[in-house]
């Protein structure tokens, strides 16, 4: 008797919805909530619907366009890598060699 196991293909693949990957779906959701709150606040302030609706549609279109562009440009983890790389210094300057000699003598790396 042989046992047949089902192979789960794509088990570690990121969530994808219409070309948007995981973090970009979250960005889009947060942006839509902000648009909804903007609509509510402007409506409660008494702004006319003829002003609010085109404004919200224009901002929503810009949101979809920008999030889709980020998703296409950076991919799944590219935006995180890009932001992390921007945080690195261009060079590190030491005034003495003591930093490196103490690493060798103590045997501990990163302390």
pLDDT tens-place string over residues 12-44: 777 777 777 778 888 899 999 999 999 999 999
- Can you give the pTM of this predicted structure? 0.64
pLDDT at site 108: 58
Tokens 């103590």, located at residue: 106
pLDDT at site 61: 94
Cα 2 from chain centroid? Answer: 45
Percent of the chain with pLDDT over 90: 31
């Amino acid at each position: 008797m042989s046992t047949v196991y089902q192979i789960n293909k794509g088990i570690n693949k990121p969530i994808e919805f219409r070309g948007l990957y995981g973090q970009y779906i979250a960005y889009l959701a947060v942006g839509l909530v902000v648009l909804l709150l903007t609509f509510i606040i402007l409506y409660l302030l008494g702004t006319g619907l003829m002003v609010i609706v085109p404004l919200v549609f224009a901002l929503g279109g810009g949101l979809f366009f920008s999030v889709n562009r980020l998703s296409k440009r950076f991919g799944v983890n590219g935006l995180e890598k890009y932001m992390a790389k921007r945080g690195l210094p261009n060079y590190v300057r030491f005034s003495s060699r003591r930093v490196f000699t103490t690493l060798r003598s103590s045997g501990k790396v990163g302390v």
